[in-house]
Amino acid sequence: MKIVYFHGYASSGASGTVELLRKALPEDEVLAPDIPVDPVEALPYLQQYCAEHQPDLIVGTSMGGMYAQQMHGYRKICVNPAFNMSRVGVMKCGEHPFLNGRKDNQKTFRITRDIIQHFSMMERTQFKGITEFDKENTYGLFGIHDPLVHTYDTFKKYYSQASRFDGAHQLNDKALKTAVLPLIAQIRAQLGK
């Protein structure tokens, strides 16, 4: 299978989760783009990226889960999706370090009031355009110990396939093995891959 992974806030396509996925799924191709900081750039970039690469599955965590939900026409797993980025406590104006190396070698990024406003504007329309295919092929996984994002009820307003797992906000090896990989195996079986 071809899997595209969307990382979380302040991270990159070189995150530890990408490495865990590649190690756990050696037969699959796991692609992971660096997501632009501003959603005005990020959303069209990710839509174009998916159009070019035609993944069998998109997996997104946190902010990446929020973006994954908006990729209409693809199977996707949204892990602890941060549907309210403009209100999450980590979104503060100023200069911040990236947590992982990025392809453009940028070490820091700047959050401005405009960027926060762009997230706020996107959040108001992020559930528009959901198709029947999306409703059947969008899965939500929510860590029961997540201190940052509590969007299970929001997800359930639009999608029926939501479940909780024994984990926190960031994926670790245990959560990957007990929640994400079994769901990927289920989707693989549906696709016959």
The Cα 33–Cα 94 span in angstroms is 24
For the chain, list the strands marked E by DSSP: 2-6, 29-31, 57-61, 76-79, 94-97, 108-111, 138-143, 162-165
Give 9's pLDDT tier (boundaries 50, 70, 90): very high
Helix or strand or coil: residue 143? Answer: strand
**pLDDT number for residue 47:** 98
Q: Kindly report whether the global pTM for this prediction surpasses the value 0.75.
A: yes
Structure tokens given for 191 = 């696709």
Structure tokens given for 133 = 């295919």
Widest Cα–Cα separation across the chain: 47
Q: Which helix (H) or strand (E) holds 135?
A: helix 132-137
Which pLDDT tens digit goes with each residue over 120-177?
Answer: 999 999 999 999 999 999 999 999 999 999 999 999 999 999 999 999 998 889 999 9
CATH number at residue 127: 3.40.50.1820
The Cα 154–Cα 106 span in angstroms is 34
The Cα 67–Cα 119 span in angstroms is 11
Please state, in angstroms and as integers, the Cα–Cα distance from residue 133 to each residue in 15, 110, 141, 159, 189, following that order.
29, 37, 19, 11, 17
Query: What range does the domain containing 16 cover?
Result: 2-191
Q: Which amino acid is at 166?
A: D
> What does pLDDT average to over the chain?
95
Report yes or no: 116 and 89 within 8 Å, Cβ to Cβ.
Answer: no
First and final C-alpha spacing in the chain:
7
Instruction: Give the other-Cβ count within 10 Å of 24's Cβ.
Output: 15
State the total domains in the chain.
1
Q: Name every residue whose Cβ is closer than 8 Å to that of residue 168 and which is 6 or more positions away in sequence.
A: 143, 145, 146, 147, 175
- Kindly tell me if the per-residue pLDDT of 39 is higher than 90: yes
